[in-house]
Structure 1
């Protein structure tokens, strides 16, 4: 009987949130729980058993209630959900696993296979991107205007690149040619 009352309360709250709110919210807690559930054991049958157990034990109902009543309201008024995930796991072409965490002014990227970390940082004062690793910061790109950027090479030389397919291809060709020259020396 308690389970039915809880389920009914969740349904009423969901309907109320849709009718009386202009913001549905991202349901960060429930989505994290579902994401975790999908990855349990790497087997769809184990995931299904955990899903069923969490439904019977009202874990999902409680997470949904917390999202509807508290977390989505915080998200509506503050603009960000305190539970929302700003970290992504990415598998690279080289077989390495990367953990990418988003910050206010850039990204922290961890190569989990090689156990190395670096940051990409945007400096709003001069509209530039830098890479920071091992305590050193190296600027690699600065926006000139909406259609051009300055790209910096390892020698500190700059090349103005047009932000178009032709401009990017020209820059790629220049990098390939310089890499080939360095490889021959």
Structure 2
């Protein structure tokens, strides 16, 4: 049983690593903006940063695991509304491959029309994703002690420890 949890966590981390962890980090930016708008003193801001450390951790985790992945697949960040996705921005690149690929592989494949984040209770967050073709899906995360369980449309996907999420975020910084 333990092996399957480790495999599920590895699969989740692989998915996030391979599918869009490079993004705008818009939710983390909102937390920072909130901190900066509360007080005009650098020491006060630094003190708030320390007090808000758990909020920054949760925001960064949500950005890395959810928001940036949505940005990758849709081409637009659901928090900031900005497009194109970071991975689609033009840059002076060394390797030029787009001209050799099918056009379907050069842009975001999923088209969301609306994304709504909501707190169900103190331990549960839900993200409702509405697609342009009319479909909707709900991705939810529920904290259970030292673990977070992830569900897609009510079906269990995986379980990740808070320690693993924290270590992941620390290694990405």
- Class of the TM-score when normalised by the shorter of the 2 chains: 0.3 to 0.5
Higher relative contact order (CA 8 A, sep 6+): 2
Output the TM-score relative to the length of structure 2: 0.36
Output the TM-score relative to the length of structure 1: 0.34
